[in-house]
Amino acid sequence: MENLDAARLQMAFTLIFHIVFACIGMVMPFFMVVSHYKWLKTRDQIYLTLTKSWQKGVAIFFVTGAVSGTALSFELGLLWPEFMKHAGPIIGMPFSLEGAAFFVEAIALGFYLYGWNKLPEKFHWFTGIIIGVSGVASGILVVAANGWMNAPSGFDYIDGKFLNIDPIQAMLNPAWFTQALHMTLAAFTATGFAVAGIHAYQVYKKRKVELHKKAFKIAITFGAIAAILQPISGDISAKDIAVRQPVKLAAMEAHYNTEKGAPLYIGGIVDTETQEVKYKIELPKMLSFLAFGDFDAEVKGLNDFPEDEHPNVAIVHYAFQIMVGIGSLLLLAGILYFISLKRKKWFDNRKYWLLFVILAPLGFIALEAGWIVTEVGRQPWIIHKIMRTKDAVTPMPGIVFSFYMYVAVYLTLSIAVTWLMLRQIKVLNRSNH
Amino acid sequence: MLYVVLFFLIFSLYLYVVLGGADYGAGIIELFSSEENQKITKKTIYRVMGPVWEANHIWIIILIVILWIAFPAYYNIMVIHLHIPITIVLLGVTLRGVAFVFRHYDAIIDNSQQLYDTMFKVSSLVTPIFLGMVFGALISGEIMVVEDASTLSFYEAFIRPWCNIFSVLVGLFFAALCAFLSSVLLIGESEGGNENIYIRKSTIAAIVVFVVGLVTFGYGYFSGNIFVLDFIKDPFTMILVVFSAVLLFPLWKTIKNGNKVWSRFFAGLQVFLILLAALISHFPNIIITKTGSISLMDNIAPDAVINVLGITLIIGGTVILPGLFHLLKSFKMIKILERNSTSN
């Protein structure tokens, strides 16, 4: 394997894992504080049991997220030293703020986990809020740094040198808001549906039904609201990319030839040789409308750009289809949940619970697919139109071994965390409430 | 602003060495304890480190972020030539963190605890050794900086900089220092007459630190290590080292008197003096290569970057430090002060 490919695979692999850990660690505190709030309000013992069970989940995911994040903060430099040498100072701002937010989160977590019966009740609960808020802030800041790679700004690029650096402008790059909004909603959707699905399974299996129903409701409410809002954010992102990264948009849609009134392809198999998409559903003029809000707008095709600036069209196209497809499905499921609140009978139907069990992993699949669109879609650039990925990679050969090592460690870690969560649920089901 | 950034760089380095170091050391102490003492230590570590250990380890992230933002050229050399030991450190940090959480948050206590314990103890020893080797590598004089790393052999470019006797000695020295710090910390935290375990450990650790330190210096001196030669030549650094050694006496006395706050203060001060001496003797030429040295001040990020970073650090510091202090105080100091006042 080429060094560059190994480095890209390692980065992709570690990010795919980190994203899952980080999202859960960022969103679950919100479920936890809602349950905690209900305990303080109602003094219903079930909520206390649930809060304590979720806090263990938060602790485990916070740590796995934190250590995989620590590894990533080094990996950026270890794998892409040339990138960090130039980009480090420019996008340092969101990273240093992220460090601060992360620190606040760790401090708040220390208070929360060890504060039961020691701290004043309300203050204790409030430290839970701080965990959640600083977690989301961390996420937004890191995404802002990624936004800069897609929309580099805050410097002048003259003769291969980065001059007149403005770190604040770099942080507030044109992509930061659209990406951060999309990612935050995605994190809530994915975690909401995943956690709800786990509890739905317990209801389906008729274990501790009352407790798991309460847990399900809290988690799915967050997930459903985020899923319903997500299309709005998706639309903003699409319109933004159409202007800023037309190659990426073209790859997402496997759109080869520039045309006015471009059709939208749904699904299909990409043939890069003949530049055709087979077995697709075609919606006339929809791509032009979605990208520019005008049915007859011109959408640039891949052939308008030099071939050495194309990403892998098939991967980007499929990943995009997966993301949008699942997103639409979860939107419907979100609406279904709110209808079910009016139709209480549904809660007695086992199929209702089975449905949410099946939906559990989908949010995260969509979220990963979305990141594949963003990252693979930006290739061959590591900094859009400024630096190519192949020029940033480390000169150290043999990265493939480090890749294998990370695969082994992270796979083991995931199995271990899953196993630990299963044991948590087992004990929860044995508890008195 | 550059001085603010430098202050935070050294400040987080120091805090990482002391807090993170004590944290690693706890695992080392547990590793070198009898089976019975291991159980006691495990409980004590959980009580003491539980609320704060995550915060302890964030200092290294702050450190690395400051390095890459403000001193990119310096950071670049580190991540290219010390790729392998840094990767091992990361692996250690990951396994150790995970093992710590697993062993305390696993809902079911069974045989898997043994696996978590072993993972925790072994990674607690290996990680600081490699971390120390990274420090050692930077001053070993074995790093070769060339325009194109592919002109060097793999061994010359990526192995020899850190895999040499001097770096390994520094690694061992750092691990011993961690164990020393931790044993002093644990003395104040043990309950029911277990203090003696840690008093014994701290004595052994202090001897190991002293011996390994001496060997490191001896080896460096006779092999012509520039860092060591400069270190010895500079009277000011030698005064700091001697002062640090002299502090062992008040440290010993405070430990015997059971004064936990002062004993920690002295141990922390000793480490500070050693670190300061190491920094001063060669500052700002912190990387010593085969052909010369590289100053931290070479190729600094532009002023605009340094200014924004400095302001961020000041703001971040004012938010975080009181919170951190409060956390430490809430869970640690209060207990100690209470115990001190009741025992008096």
Q: Which residue of B has its CA nearest to A100?
A: B316
Name which of A115, A205, A214 is nearest A422 in CA terms. Answer: A205
pLDDT digits (tens, 9 = 90+) for A289-302: 888 888 888 888 88
Whole-angstrom distance, CA of residue B86 vs CA of residue A39: 45
Mutate to test the interface with A, among B5, B9, B53, B61 (most CBs of A within 10 A): B61
Q: Which residues pair with A271 in a beta bridge?
A: A276
Partners of A106 on chain B (C-beta within 8 Å) are 54-55, 58
A96–B312 C-beta distance less than 8 A:
yes
Sign of the alpha-carbon torsion through B57, B59, B63, B65: positive
How far does CA B196 lie from the centroid of its chain?
Answer: 25
If DSSP codes are grouped into helix, strand and coil, which group holds residue A10? helix
Q: b/e for B101-139, b at 16 or more Cβ within 10 A?
A: bbbbbbbeeeebeeebbebbbbbbbbbbbbbbbbbbbbb
pLDDT value at residue B332: 58
Contact A66, A413 (CB under 8 A): no
Give B335's pLDDT tier (boundaries 50, 70, 90).
Answer: low
Answer yes or no: is pLDDT of B53 > 80.
no
The string of DSSP letters for A134-184 reads: HHHHHHHHHHHHHHHHHS--SSEEETTEEES--HHHHHT-TTHHHHHHHHH
The string of DSSP letters for A218-241 reads: HHHHHHHHHHHHHHHHHHHHHHHH
The string of DSSP letters for A148-162 reads: HHHS--SSEEETTEE
Nearest CA to CA, how far is A214 from chain B (Å)?
Answer: 21
Answer yes or no: is pLDDT of B231 > 70.
yes
ipTM: 0.81
- From the list B54, B105, B331, the residue facing A109 with the nearest CB is B54
- Residue B141, phi then psi, degrees to nearest 5: 75, 15
Nearest CA to CA, how far is A69 from chain B (Å)?
Answer: 9
Q: What percent of chain A has pLDDT over 70?
A: 99
Partners of B57 on chain A (C-beta within 8 Å) are 66, 70
Which of B127-136, B200-209, B314-323 reaches the highest mean pLDDT? B127-136
Q: Which residues pair with A387 in a beta bridge?
A: A383
Q: What percent of chain A has pLDDT over 90?
A: 36
pLDDT value at residue B342: 43
Mean pLDDT value of segment B140-160: 76
Q: Degrees (nearest 5) of the Cα angle A202, A204, A209?
A: 60
| Cβ-proximal residues to A353 (8 Å cutoff; 6+ apart), any chain | A200, A201, A203, A204
Answer yes or no: is pLDDT of B334 > 80.
no
pLDDT value at residue B4: 87
Give B192's pLDDT tier (boundaries 50, 70, 90).
Answer: low
Partners of A167 on chain B (C-beta within 8 Å) are 304-305, 308-309
- Residue B190, phi then psi, degrees to nearest 5: -75, 155
Mean pLDDT value of segment B166-187: 86
Contact A138, A105 (CB under 8 A): yes
Q: Degrees (nearest 5) of the Cα angle A10, A14, A15?
A: 115
**B283 or A379: which carries more pLDDT confidence?**
A379
pLDDT digits (tens, 9 = 90+) for A20-63: 988 998 999 999 999 999 999 998 888 998 998 898 888 888 88
What's chain A's length in residues? 433
pLDDT value at residue B54: 67
DSSP A293: S
How far does CA B309 lie from the centroid of its chain?
Answer: 24
Answer yes or no: is pLDDT of B211 > 80.
yes
Mutate to test the interface with B, among A61, A76, A85, A417 (most CBs of B within 10 A): A85
Answer yes or no: is pLDDT of A356 > 80.
yes
Judge residue A24's burial from the number of C-beta atoms within 10 Å of its C-beta, 0-12 exposed, 13-18 middle, 19 or more buried.
buried
Whole-angstrom distance, CA of residue A46 vs CA of residue A52: 10
Mean pLDDT value of segment A368-395: 90
- Residue B331, phi then psi, degrees to nearest 5: -100, -20
CA A412 → CA A402, A418, A419, distances in Å? 15, 10, 10
Contact A179, A150 (CB under 8 A): yes
Contact A335, A302 (CB under 8 A): no
User: Average pLDDT of chain A?
Assistant: 88
